[in-house]
Amino acid sequence: MDVPGVPAGRHIVAGAAIGAAAGCVLAVFTGSGRSIDLGVLVGVSYTLASAWLSGDLPSPTRDRLEQHVKDDWRTLEPIQQGLLIGMVVGAVIALLVRNLVWIAAFMSWGAAVGWLLGRRRRRQDAAPSPQDEGPAVDEREPTLAAAADRHIGEVLSGIDRTVVAEQLSDEVPGLPAERYGTALDAALSRYDRAHERALARRHEVVARARDLDALGGVFELELFNRRPGQPKIDVRGALGDLHDRAALDDAIARTEALLAHAADLGFGAQDACDDRATLQAAHPGFSLEQLSAALNWGYYNGR
Neighbours of 42 (CB within 10 A): 18
Mean pLDDT for 87-111 is 71
More reliable by pLDDT, 52 or 215: 215
pLDDT surpassing 90 at residue 9: no
* Nearest Cα residue to 229 out of 207, 202, 267, 260: 202
Distance CA 149, CA 151 (A): 6
More reliable by pLDDT, 189 or 113: 189
Mean pLDDT for 39-52 is 65
Distance CA 262, CA 250 (A): 18
pLDDT surpassing 60 at residue 282: yes
Range of 50-54, 67-71, 244-248, 264-268 with top mean pLDDT: 244-248
Alpha-carbon dihedral angle through residues 233, 235, 239, 241, given to the nearest 10 degrees: -100
At residue 136, the pLDDT reads 42
pLDDT surpassing 90 at residue 256: yes
pLDDT surpassing 60 at residue 71: no
pLDDT surpassing 70 at residue 242: yes
Which pLDDT band holds residue 128 (cuts at 50, 70, 90)? low
Mean pLDDT for 81-100 is 71
pLDDT surpassing 80 at residue 162: yes
At residue 237, the pLDDT reads 92
Question: In the chain, where are the structural domains located?
Answer: 1-74, 76-128, 137-211, 213-303
Which pLDDT band holds residue 28 (cuts at 50, 70, 90)? low
More reliable by pLDDT, 22 or 234: 234
Which pLDDT band holds residue 139 (cuts at 50, 70, 90)? confident
Which pLDDT band holds residue 140 (cuts at 50, 70, 90)? confident
- The secondary structure of the chain in percent helix, strand, coil, rounded to multiples of 5, reads 75, 0, 25
C-beta of residue 39 within 8 angstroms of C-beta of residue 21? yes
pLDDT surpassing 60 at residue 135: no
At residue 214, the pLDDT reads 94
pLDDT surpassing 90 at residue 239: yes
Least confident of 41-45, 211-215, 237-241: 41-45
Mean pLDDT for 254-282 is 87
Which pLDDT band holds residue 44 (cuts at 50, 70, 90)? low
C-beta of residue 57 within 8 angstroms of C-beta of residue 48? yes
More reliable by pLDDT, 146 or 135: 146
At residue 215, the pLDDT reads 94
pLDDT surpassing 50 at residue 134: no
pLDDT surpassing 70 at residue 13: no
At residue 258, the pLDDT reads 93
Q: Enumerate long-range contacts of 219-223, CB under 8 Å, 24 or more apart.
A: 219/251, 219/255, 219/258, 219/286, 219/290, 219/294, 222/252, 222/255, 222/256, 222/259, 223/255, 223/259, 223/293, 223/294, 223/297
Tens of pLDDT along 193-234? Answer: 888 888 888 899 999 999 999 999 999 999 999 887 777 889
C-beta of residue 209 within 8 angstroms of C-beta of residue 217? yes
